[in-house]
């Protein structure tokens, strides 16, 4: 995962363009991707697919002819969607188009201007403060013209056509945690699922933020009713503890699964309620769709000093954090896959488990007492209304122990799905 982050990091991405295509191409080397190209001007819900932006070079030269800002040195030096320009101007005029972080003078900020025709550069504040007066040559070799918006999908078919979606935004240039770490985690999760026999169908969506998710939704109205839930993935590699943001529903299957996994882990974490601000969960959870899609991050957006700055580089991302994010997702998927509702076929009194060999089957287990209790809880709550996750939460037993007990009881003919 760390190697993939390092490879993706230098690519200059935006909501459209060749950098976005290159990102999808690299992801496609790891998992098969179906890439869609949606033409500029296409109406997608209340939005319109914008013009495509590509950039080849951009720099500013001081009065001596020395390059003091150079896009070739860092992608964040150019404001995203800057229009082409070649001009000479005094420093006072140039400063109106320069963006810095005075409170973080050694970092380059990330700025964009997707929907208004303008231009600009980003730089370290200490560099700005050192610029001499005089005339500056400004050059931006870019195009903003009709083209396409690109997004990629990877689908793992399951026994059911019901889908779980995981969505990552792939539009940020040279920001490692936000969001290439999440892309790498999603790729690894997809690889794991691909070698499993799954109950649900899993769909991974790699799209530019906001307008990309809106475009996908606009083009997939017929699929929405089959989506049982999912999560947006972002900021998956920083050293902060995990944060789960519930879906708009608040009690969707993914909400309950992730919360259970985090609580059982004993690790520091946060679970927060839905708000219509953040990543693309706000598109999937818009009231017309109201999908059970939450958001899993480590430190949430804008919650760490390096957020949307040059400080969010590959060194900021740790292998341990990405592995922890991946394992949490894997455990949540396992809960989704194994969660069922059962009906007790011998509901009048407690059935005799010993003569069915169920107690004997537990011999040698380190959690024999837990397993016995799990059988009793499953039998008692198998009324068609309670799921196995309900059983685990009410009993305080590990979900895996409860699911194993249900498998044993089903095998003995005492419960049915």
Known binding residue 367? Answer is no
The whole-number average pLDDT for the span 83-105 is 98
The whole-number average pLDDT for the span 2-19 is 98
The whole-number average pLDDT for the span 109-117 is 95
Known binding residue 172? Answer is yes
Summarize pLDDT for 301-323 with one digit per residue, the tens.
Answer: 899 999 999 999 999 999 999 99
- Domains of the chain plus CATH, in order, are 2-50+148-338 (3.40.630.10), 52-145 (3.50.30.90), 341-416 (1.10.10.10)
pLDDT band at 365 (very low <50, low <70, confident <90, very high): low
The answer to whether residue 123 scores a pLDDT higher than 60 is yes
Q: In whole numbers, what is the pLDDT of the chain averaged over residues?
A: 96
Known binding residue 125? Answer is no
Per-residue model confidence (pLDDT) at position 368: 79
Query: Strand pairing partners for 215?
Result: none
The answer to whether residue 175 scores a pLDDT higher than 90 is yes
pLDDT band at 364 (very low <50, low <70, confident <90, very high): low
pTM for the model stands at: 0.96
Summarize pLDDT for 145-170 with one digit per residue, the tens.
Answer: 999 999 999 999 999 999 999 999 99
Per-residue model confidence (pLDDT) at position 369: 85
- Identify the helix (H) or strand (E) that includes residue 400: helix 399-411
The answer to whether residue 355 scores a pLDDT higher than 90 is no
**How many Å apart are CA 101 and CA 118, to the nearest integer?**
20
**How many Å apart are CA 179 and CA 312, to the nearest integer?**
10
The answer to whether residue 120 scores a pLDDT higher than 60 is yes
Summarize pLDDT for 194-237 with one digit per residue, the tens.
Answer: 999 999 999 999 999 999 999 999 999 999 999 999 999 999 99
Torsion of CA 224, 226, 232, 233, to 10 degrees: -140
Per-residue model confidence (pLDDT) at position 363: 55
Per-residue model confidence (pLDDT) at position 214: 98
pLDDT band at 360 (very low <50, low <70, confident <90, very high): low
The answer to whether residue 359 scores a pLDDT higher than 90 is no
**How many Å apart are CA 205 and CA 150, to the nearest integer?**
11
The answer to whether residue 25 scores a pLDDT higher than 60 is yes
Specify the DSSP class assigned to residue 124: -
Task: Provide φ and ψ at 94, rounded to 5°.
Answer: -60, -40
Specify the DSSP class assigned to residue 241: P
pLDDT band at 298 (very low <50, low <70, confident <90, very high): very high
Residues whose CB falls within 8 Å of the CB of residue 115, separated by 6 or more in sequence, listed in order: 50
Which residue in this structure is represented by tokens 């530019």? 208
The answer to whether residue 338 scores a pLDDT higher than 80 is yes
The whole-number average pLDDT for the span 103-118 is 96
């Amino acid at each position: 995962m760390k190697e993939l982050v390092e490879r993706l990091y230098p690519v200059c991405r935006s909501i459209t363009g060749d950098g976005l295509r290159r990102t999808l191409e690299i992801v496609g080397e790891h998992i098969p991707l179906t890439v869609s190209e949606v033409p500029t001007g296409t109406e997608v819900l209340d939005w319109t697919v914008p013009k495509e932006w590509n950039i080849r070079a951009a720099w500013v030269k001081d009065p001596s002819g020395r390059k003091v800002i150079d896009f070739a040195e860092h992608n964040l030096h150019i404001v995203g969607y800057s229009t082409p320009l070649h001009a000479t101007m005094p420093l006072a005029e140039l400063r109106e188009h320069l963006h810095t972080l005075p409170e973080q003078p050694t970092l380059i900020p990330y700025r964009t201007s997707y929907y208004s025709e303008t231009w600009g550069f980003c730089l370290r504040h200490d560099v700005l403060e050192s610029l001499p007066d005089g005339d500056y040559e400004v050059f931006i070799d870019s195009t903003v013209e009709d083209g396409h918006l690109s997004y990629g999908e990877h689908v793992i078919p399951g026994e059911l056509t019901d889908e779980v979606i995981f969505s990552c935004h792939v539009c940020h240039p040279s920001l490692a945690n936000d969001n290439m770490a999440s892309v790498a985690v999603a790729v690894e999760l997809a690889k794991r699922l691909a070698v499993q026999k799954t109950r649900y169908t899993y769909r991974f969506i790699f799209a530019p933020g906001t307008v990309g998710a809106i475009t996908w939704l606009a083009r997939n109205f017929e699929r929405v009713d089959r989506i049982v839930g999912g999560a947006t993935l972002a900021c998956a590699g920083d050293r902060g503890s995990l944060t789960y943001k519930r879906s708009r529903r608040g009690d969707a299957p993914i909400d309950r699964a992730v919360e259970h996994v985090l609580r059982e882990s004993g690790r520091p974490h946060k679970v927060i309620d839905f708000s219509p601000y953040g990543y693309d969960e706000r598109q999937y959870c818009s009231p017309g769709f109201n999908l059970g899609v939450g958001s899993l991050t480590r430190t949430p957006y804008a919650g760490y000093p390096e957020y949307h700055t040059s400080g969010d580089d590959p060194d900021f991302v740790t292998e341990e954090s990405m592995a922890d994010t991946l394992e949490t997702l894997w455990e949540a998927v396992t809960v989704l896959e194994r969660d069922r509702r059962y009906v007790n076929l011998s509901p009048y009194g407690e059935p005799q488990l010993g003569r069915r060999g169920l107690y004997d089957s537990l011999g040698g287990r380190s959690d024999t007492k837990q397993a016995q209790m799990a059988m009793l809880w499953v039998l008692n709550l198998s009324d068609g209304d309670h799921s196995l996750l309900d059983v685990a939460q009410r009993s305080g037993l590990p979900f895996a122990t409860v699911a194993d007990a249900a498998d044993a009881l089903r095998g003995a003919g005492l419960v049915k799905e």
